Amino acid sequence: MRPLATEAVNPASTAIDSLDARGIVGVMVAEDGRVAGAVAREAEAIARAVEVIAARLRAGGRLVYLGAGTSGRLGVLDASECPPTFSTPPEMVVGLIAGGPTALTRAIEGAEDRPELAVADLDGIGFGPGDVLVGIATSGRTPYVIGGIEHARRCGAFTIGVACSPDSALAAAAELAIVPLVGPEVIAGSTRLKAGTATKLVLNMLSTGAMILLGKTYGNLMVDLRATNSKLLDRSRRIAARLTGLDDAAATALLTRHDGELKTAIVAARRGVSTTEARRLLAAAGGQLRGAIGAEPVPQPTAASPDLVIGVDGGGSGCRAVVGRVAAGELTVLGRGSGGPANPRAIGGQAAATSIRAAVAEAFAAAGVQPAPAARACLGLAGAGRPEDAAAVAAALADVAASVAVVTDADLLLGDAAPGEMVALIAGTGSIAVARAADGTLDRAGGWGAVFGDEGSGWWVGREALAAVTAAADGRGRNTTLTARLLSRYGVDRPGLLAAALSGPALPRDRVAAAAIDVVAAAAAGDVVAVRILDAAATELAALVLAVERRRPVAAAPWSLRLAGGLLVHSPSLADAVTARLRQEGRPPARVEVVEDAALEAARMARRAMVPRRDG
């Protein structure tokens, strides 16, 4: 029997027993950070599953989870949370676990190895062709789960397999497979860790996505909840007040008049109709509140907070946001947040705006401040050089601030530097060097993209690392510790599976760029191959700087160098190597600064637009 990916040894935690508590937590945090990306790579399969589940539920079918151990407990947990969250009947979403309810708190030895028990459990709930069965087994080969999937297919039901191992028997048995490859666990074989986290995320998306399609939310508000306790009663009141414009007392009275039915109360108030008519309108709209009250958006606060500013730094791998308050001309950071990729040229303006909105929301949450439009927002984005790209992002985020400025990430670094006095080098997912020309426009080198450019970037370093690993596997390259590191990162157990793990219509730039972290770590540990890759990256990045520095309006004048981007910020040795190359070429900068928080630079730029400049 082939070794399981979930049983592999993680090279990042082989000495975890020698670490103190903070070191242990650090290793676990780093490993858990890989889970979201693994789930994101299954987005298409998850979306297809959500569509099928919603269609079956709408037709009167059920969603049934089936699993053993941790997988079974997660299924039961997700099922049990649907009634209070979405006001669903208990029989609509069901969780079955090998060994029955006792197995929720105590391991039942041998239950997971008996496929006939799954058949009996499914028959016991009257499982039929209109239902959906989600079989959960991180190993992908649990007999109880596979037996249940095979029985469900014989019944004519739709089957979905959730596993964390590639090429599994479960994936082959189910009609639709969702396989987030999270890599080896911090404790070998303990799939309650990353695999359990990935499974929980997937199940969240399956049930929540289906309920959204069934009309259980309005915007992101939980409008079909069942108010069974004081917390939920208070939530119902707040949602009713928000969506009707009533004060708290009036919203409470509204809910009472309409038997506590939140959606019915909102429709009655918004349309000016009786309880009976509100229920009829909801039924005619298929339970969709938006359809029953019209397509107008969820009301949002409109008055901008005159003292708030937002700064965003966005690139190909992610974005970061800062929410700050300006008082007496001084900027105080209130909170920070992060989001997904935000390069509009790479993913489109709307997708970039979605990532930015999530980062801003997280920054407000961290600040403990009620989200409200800021006076000004400055967004410094890679790929925002074309006016149409910048305009698309600004339009999509017009509600975030009274004034939204979208600039390039280079603009953030150069600030109001005079022509020729500063060169900015950015090496994150991509790479570019920029300076201000004599006429005030930006002079650049690099930034041509991953197809035939981005030399020295995280993408370029990651690609070189992958090439080195495959060369070593072929026997045409030197052995390197990068092999173990990259296999762990991409959740596979041999180099031959790397291509499949990175499959798609094009190599995913952010996933390839993520491997640069492993190159930096391997180089610090003395790996010769990794050292050579970073040396070559330093040469390429220095060449970008030299290309624009030699075109400065006053070639002999002193100049400063600002370095930014995830690769340079997280690899001081690479930044030092770039500076050393410039000295070797006889073009040393008078001053070198590493900009670790470009989002803060964006917030400062927003502040400067509000008040006369006193400092940076």
Q: Could you give the CA distance from residue 260 to residue 256 in angstroms, rounded to a whole number?
A: 5
Contacting residues for 209 by C-beta, under 8 A, at least 6 apart: 46, 47, 50, 53, 54
Q: Which amino acid is at 471?
A: A
Q: Could you give the CA distance from residue 468 to residue 482 in angstroms, rounded to a whole number?
A: 8
In terms of Cβ atoms closer than 10 Å to its own Cβ (0-12, 13-18, 19+), residue 301 is: exposed
Closest by Cα among 321, 287, 286 to 400: 321
In terms of Cβ atoms closer than 10 Å to its own Cβ (0-12, 13-18, 19+), residue 284 is: exposed
Catalytic residue selected from 42, 112, 549, 601 = 112
Question: The dihedral of CA 149, 153, 159, 161: what is its sign?
Answer: positive
Three-state secondary structure call for residue 21? helix
Residue 55, φ and ψ in degrees, nearest 5:
-65, -40
Residue 309, φ and ψ in degrees, nearest 5:
-130, 155
Q: How long, in residues, is the chain?
A: 616
| Cα angle for residues 53, 54, 57 (degrees, 5° grid) | 85
How far CA 341 is from CA of 144, 354, 373, 411, 462, in Å, comes to 39, 9, 22, 19, 17
Give yes or no for a contact between 355 and 379, defined as CB atoms under 8 angstroms apart. Answer: no
Neighbours of 473 (CB within 10 A): 15
Contacting residues for 581 by C-beta, under 8 A, at least 6 apart: 538, 539, 542
Pairing of strands 374-381, 401-408: parallel
Q: Could you give the CA distance from residue 105 to residue 76 in angstroms, rounded to a whole number?
A: 12
| Cα angle for residues 237, 243, 246 (degrees, 5° grid) | 65
112 is catalytic: yes
Give yes or no for a contact between 613 and 329, defined as CB atoms under 8 angstroms apart. Answer: no
Element (H, E) at 160: strand 158-162
DSSP 87-144: ---TTTEEEEETT-GGGGTS--TTGGG-HHHHHHHHHHTT--TT-EEEEE-TTS--HH
585 is catalytic: no
Q: Could you give the CA distance from residue 335 to residue 312 in angstroms, rounded to a whole number?
A: 12
| Cα angle for residues 268, 81, 66 (degrees, 5° grid) | 130
| Cα angle for residues 551, 557, 563 (degrees, 5° grid) | 70
Catalytic residue selected from 7, 81, 150, 585 = 81
| Cα angle for residues 364, 366, 369 (degrees, 5° grid) | 45
Beta strands (DSSP E) in 283-400 are 305-314, 319-327, 330-339, 374-381
Q: Could you give the CA distance from residue 212 to residue 126 in angstroms, rounded to a whole number?
A: 26
Give yes or no for a contact between 601 and 595, defined as CB atoms under 8 angstroms apart. Answer: yes
Contacting residues for 54 by C-beta, under 8 A, at least 6 apart: 209, 210, 213, 214
Three-state secondary structure call for residue 176? strand
Which residues are known to be catalytic? 81, 112
